[in-house]
Amino acid sequence: MLLAAALLACPTLTSNVLAQDSGKTDSVANAAADQEGASQKDNQADDSKTDSKTDSAAADAAAKKKKDGWIELKDSWKPCEFGGDGEITVNDGTITLDYGSPITGVKWGGSFDGDKGLPRDNFEIELEAQRLDGFDFLCALTFPVAKSHASLVMGGWGGGVTGLSSIDGYDASDNQTTVFQSYENKKWYRARVHVDQNQIIVWVNDQKMFSHPRSGHDFDIRFEMQSCTPLGLANYECKSQIRNVRIRRLKPSEITKPESDDDNAN
């Protein structure tokens, strides 16, 4: 009470005390603001470092792909026009093929052979595919085999067959490449096809499915897939997506030795 009375009795003292309190409050607020500003700068610096690392990793991956000779196939896809095709969309390299009656597909519209064209022999091609809905093949990759063609069928004949169509007139369901492989819906599967002058080898999710010699055999495609040549992608009675399609020429050291049918059987 004595202090209150003194303050009332002395306006100058009251003003000084209030000013001191106000100064303390401002000082605390300024310190908090400075700390928040410093924290934001630290966060921005961390974000910048993270972005820098991400950009660096992406640049390294792109440089490695280029060094290895991979060519990304994102553009130049056009409808096969089988008749009864479903809707087709291409978004940043991901191709969505909707239900067709019964087939939907796209073909590569770029050039082949020559300095800037894609190879017809001695190459590898990779892709990732998933079936979103339906039950039959999520992807049939039609590719050149020198002057001929073949199709890798993934999940055909009701969803469980993987193989090459056609060899010596026999479909993927009825030749030496026939493999029974199930494909879950909404799950990505990575396929790699190696084509050289001696044999064709196929992997799915890094697991070797089969290899087949070329010598002494005729490779061709089913008549329905003619619209996919020389390089195409199609599905059958399902909705599927295909992405990360890329191709590269093989180095001479990567060309395999001749393989016989007996070797393939073993």
CATH number, domain at 96?
A: 2.60.120.560
Whether the model pTM is above 0.95: no
Check whether residue 154 and residue 182 sit in a common domain.
Answer: yes
User: So what's the pLDDT on residue 75?
Assistant: 82
pLDDT of residue 217: 98
Give the separation between CA 222 and CA 150, rounded to whole angstroms: 9
pLDDT score recorded for residue 139: 98
Asked if 45 and 118 sit in the same domain, the reply is no
Statement to judge: residues 78 and 150 lie in one domain: yes
* Whether residues 38 and 169 fall in one domain: no
Q: Are residues 50 and 80 in the same domain?
A: no
pLDDT given for residue 259 in this prediction: 73
Q: Which range marks the domain in which residue 157 is found?
A: 72-265
Which parts of the chain have pLDDT scores under 50?
1-21, 24-25, 28, 266
What's the pLDDT score for residue 2?
A: 37
Q: Please indicate, yes or no, whether residues 84 and 18 belong to a single structural domain of this protein.
A: no
Q: Are residues 83 and 48 in the same domain?
A: no
The structural domain count of the chain equals 2
Supply the pLDDT for residue 45: 56
Q: Which of 68, 83, 112 is the last residue of a domain?
A: 68
User: Could you tell me if 132 and 95 lie in one domain?
Assistant: yes
Given 68, 83, 102, which residue is the final one in a domain? 68
Do 136 and 179 have their domain in common?
A: yes
Residue 9's pLDDT is 42
Question: Residue 19's pLDDT is what?
Answer: 44
Indicate whether 51 and 154 sit together in one domain: no
